[in-house]
Amino acid sequence: MDRVQQIMVRSQSAPVRTSCGVALLQFLLDFPLGPQRLKQHVAFLLANLEYEYESGRLQVLDMLAQVVAKFPAEVLQAQSDVLLMPLVVRLVNDSSPKARAAAGEVLRSLLGRLEPPQLDRAVGYCRAWLGRTGGGTDAALRRAAAQTLGFVAEAEGGRFGRRMAELAPAVLRVLEQQAARGADGDDSDPALDDESAASEEACPGWHEAYYCLLLLEKLVAQSAAALAWPTGQSAKTAAAATAGTAAGGSQPVSPLVPELWEATVRLLLHRHVWVRKAAARLVGHGLASPRVSGGLMAARPGRAGELAFSFFLQLECDQADEPTCLQAVKCLVSLSVHLHREHAAADAKRQRAAAEGPAGAAANGSAAAVNGGHQHADGEEADHEDAEADGDADGNDEPDGDDEAAEAKAEADDEEAVDGAGEDAGDDEGDAVSMAAQVARRAFTLRGLVRRMARLADDARWGRGRQRSAALRWTAAAASALGADAIAPHLPVLLRPLELLLASYNKAREHVKGMRSERKRRSAVRGMLDPAAAAAARLRHNARKAEGRKRKLEVLKRERSARQLSGGGRPRGGGGAKRGRS
């Protein structure tokens, strides 16, 4: 069989490689082999994982997948350490994306069949690799360790949560380093959307953060208690406290859980699109979980506005695909509810302060300044934009030098403003300054988010259809989530794009209707001017319709005949069973 396995790797013919692989697998499964002979065959397969041609490496990986799936459990346990290390190395060292994906599938299958002692040993290796702090080989080991831990999380399911307390420090260090390197960089740098060497050079270490985020996402999906926010503790208190236990379970909760969520939030605006998407999905899980969303929102004032700003930028990005838009819409709907609650709480506080007198009003004014509130006397923010504010959604615009004076003037004018004033995209400088201030502090109020989404829904540029559809879906979902009373003040802004769409639709419909009427008119005129030609045209039209009906009947006859030949039709005449009984 030595010659057969060599041909399986080296042959340039796919059928030959497949036939040799089938023969070798049958030999390994049925022929009585001693431990040493079996080890030689496995060693040959593992050595050829570095074969120079991709086709040979893929055939070897396919053979290993069959071995892992069909070998007896006791034999596989004995060979687990021999198989594990070369497969982990191929996750990062192979130049072929297909080979890396195949190696990942084989490793996932292998980990799924291992017993707890072997899994504990594999996790120990990964924990040591993930804790390395150097570059080069250490970075490759961190990436492989994070990816392998994700496979272990899939294999163990909810039981993997017990390992998070010991893995959290290393995972947190990777996420924080990448957040400082990629999320706080220059916003003018182009986004990256592949795993090429150029992407790694432009944003070193993004692979590690990406696979760590995938690990956390799998953990949240299978064991949400392991990443539940510690109740009654802030992020700093939880970081200093000892590990507690998840409510209702015995799995230890790491005190670093709040810091893991904070690092994930910072990665929402990472330069690499893959990291950005993984962070968005993880934060989406957190917003959907009451055991996380409460602590996440309370950990920092204005957190809902910051998250809304980040998800809006993800939605507005040119690289946003359909899953990204859907995830951003879901999160923005949830954040809209939080923003409305914050606005209602600030409004109630302002009313109480006004009722208490000048001292309370002064205290309320300082609180509003801390929260970044630029609000009307009726409780609505002055969030109208002018042409200068139209391009500031990317966070790069800075307020002008006269912004402070204009803002002070706007706040004074707000006291005299009536409800609904300035709805028409107006010329109010104070409104434009208010939106610029929101972008400068990278956080939105509810009214600011509404105006941005309305403008995105009205973006008729080529290639922006996906973003427009997402903005319209957000409008419908936010109206349902907020309720009639909460959404009513924003309807003049939200309905403007819908009115424009409806006007465009009506215009197109009238155009089609006019063209149809014109065709009928021309046909009538031709009938009057040349009756013979009109009659010939009617005959040709009727002949085409008759031919079409004839073809349809022929198809129905053939289908009925086919059903009768296959035994599916009923025998003609009926009563056969009765005649047989008589």
Average pLDDT for consecutive 10-residue bins of the chain (582 residues)?
A: 89 91 90 86 91 92 92 88 91 90 93 91 92 85 93 90 90 91 58 77 87 93 85 48 42 80 92 92 92 88 90 89 92 92 86 73 48 40 40 40 39 35 36 55 86 89 88 92 91 87 88 92 87 89 93 91 72 49 44
Task: Give the whole-angstrom CA distance, residue 349 versus residue 273.
Answer: 40
pLDDT value for 251: 59
In a domain, 78, yes or no: no
Q: How far is CA 144 from CA 51, 126, 183, in A?
A: 20, 8, 23
356 and 472 part of one domain: yes
For residues 478 and 365, is the Cβ–Cβ distance under 8 A?
Answer: no
481 and 534 part of one domain: no
466 and 406 part of one domain: yes
pLDDT value for 262: 92
Of 424, 487, 451, residue with least CA distance to 312: 451
Of 191, 562, 241, 211, residue with least CA distance to 394: 191
In a domain, 388, yes or no: yes
Q: How far is CA 560 from CA 316, 367, 566, 572, 574, in A?
A: 55, 79, 10, 13, 17
Question: What type of residue sits at position 53?
Answer: Y
Which residues are within 8 A (CB) of 261 and not within 5 positions of it... i.e. 6 or more apart? Answer: 227, 229, 283, 286, 292, 295, 296, 299
370 and 448 part of one domain: yes
558: three-class secondary structure by DSSP: helix
Task: Give the whole-angstrom CA distance, residue 213 versus residue 179.
Answer: 12
How many domains in the chain?
2
In a domain, 64, yes or no: no
Q: Which residues pair with 245 in a beta bridge?
A: 252
Its domain, for residue 558, covers 530-567
If you ran DSSP here, which 8-state letter would residue 187 be given? T
Q: How far is CA 389 from CA 434, 497, 572, in A?
A: 10, 18, 79
pLDDT value for 568: 54
374 and 478 part of one domain: yes
435 and 557 part of one domain: no
Task: Give the whole-angstrom CA distance, residue 132 versus residue 303.
Answer: 33
In a domain, 225, yes or no: no
pLDDT value for 364: 52
For residues 5 and 56, is the Cβ–Cβ distance under 8 A?
Answer: no
Instruction: Determine the distance from the C-alpha atom of residue 26 to the mean position of all C-alpha atoms in its chain, rounded to a whole number.
Output: 43
In a domain, 436, yes or no: yes
Last residue of a domain, one of 442, 474, 491: 491
557 and 433 part of one domain: no
Owner of token pair 């050079």: 201
Of 301, 177, 171, residue with least CA distance to 234: 301
Task: Give the whole-angstrom CA distance, residue 253 versus residue 246.
Answer: 6
Q: How far is CA 55 from CA 28, 51, 417, in A?
A: 22, 9, 73
Of 253, 263, 255, residue with least CA distance to 239: 255
Q: Euclidean distance between the first and final Cα of the chain, in Å?
A: 69
What pTM, to 2 d.p., does this model score? 0.73
407 and 535 part of one domain: no
In a domain, 342, yes or no: yes
pLDDT value for 370: 42
In a domain, 287, yes or no: no
Owner of token pair 């994700």: 150
487 and 361 part of one domain: yes
Q: Which residues pair with 375 in a beta bridge?
A: 381
Task: Give the whole-angstrom CA distance, residue 98 versus residue 427.
Answer: 56
Last residue of a domain, one of 491, 512, 542: 491
401 and 538 part of one domain: no
In a domain, 504, yes or no: no
447 and 554 part of one domain: no
452 and 558 part of one domain: no
